[in-house]
Structure 1
């Protein structure tokens, strides 16, 4: 069974390694453009359409992110319902990432 959650620290380590996960940021475009850590911006309301057209492998490592981890949890469930087997939700969302970055 794959992990279903990833901590901010673990995600930052992944981003800085050579094992880049597919990252989907499910916040609205204005939020994404205000602050993001990369990845594809697909607002939650558009995720179902995106999934249909996406060419991701169902076993790809996918990390879903949002501000606090609630919308991304919903996105995780949607992706899992579509057969994606390796979807992780960023625990604490981008707020957790910002806390780490602010403490550096």
Structure 2
């Protein structure tokens, strides 16, 4: 699936739209600044994949600090059969500049 902009993400969050929201930053980063997403650090994703198994055909929006880790998470999830994964371009840094 195509990536999502921070503007689109903010609009969807403001409108309480339904999607799985995943933050792949480290726990300390998440604690400092989070948008309400489920936190699974990128390094932990392979061992915590079962937490997402029910969402293989559901839209998953992934974000991180700048968009690099979330892009890696998107690619990893796609290799595991997740068909609707979207990366947030620019990450939380871009989101906070809205």
> What's the TM-score bracket when you normalise by the shorter of the two chains?
over 0.9
Report deviation, 1:58.
Answer: 1.1
Q: Which runs of 5+ in 2 are unaligned?
A: none
Greater C-alpha radius of gyration:
1
Aligned counterpart, 1:93: 91
Aligned counterpart, 1:36: 34
Aligned counterpart, 2:10: 12
- Separation (CA, whole Å) in 2 of partners of 1:18 and 1:66: 20
Report deviation, 1:17.
Answer: 1.6
Q: Which runs of 5+ in 1 are unaligned?
A: none
Report deviation, 1:53.
Answer: 4.0
Aligned counterpart, 2:60: 62
**In the TM superposition, what whole-angstrom CA distance separates every residue of 1:40-67 from its partner, at most 9, and x where no partner exists?**
1100010011113434321111011000
- Where 1:59 maps in the other structure, the secondary structure is coil
Are the aligned partners of 1:15 and 1:21 in contact in 2 as well (CA < 8 Å)? no
- Separation (CA, whole Å) in 1 of partners of 2:67 and 2:19: 17
Tell me whether 59-68 or 13-22 shows the greater mean CA deviation: 13-22
TM-score by length of 1: 0.88
**In the TM superposition, what whole-angstrom CA distance separates every residue of 1:51-97 from its partner, at most 9, and x where no partner exists?**
13434321111011000000000000010001111000000000111
In structure 2, relative to structure 1, the CA distance for the partners of 1:13 and 1:90 (3 Å cut) is same
> Runs of 4 or more off by more than 4 Å in structure 1?
none
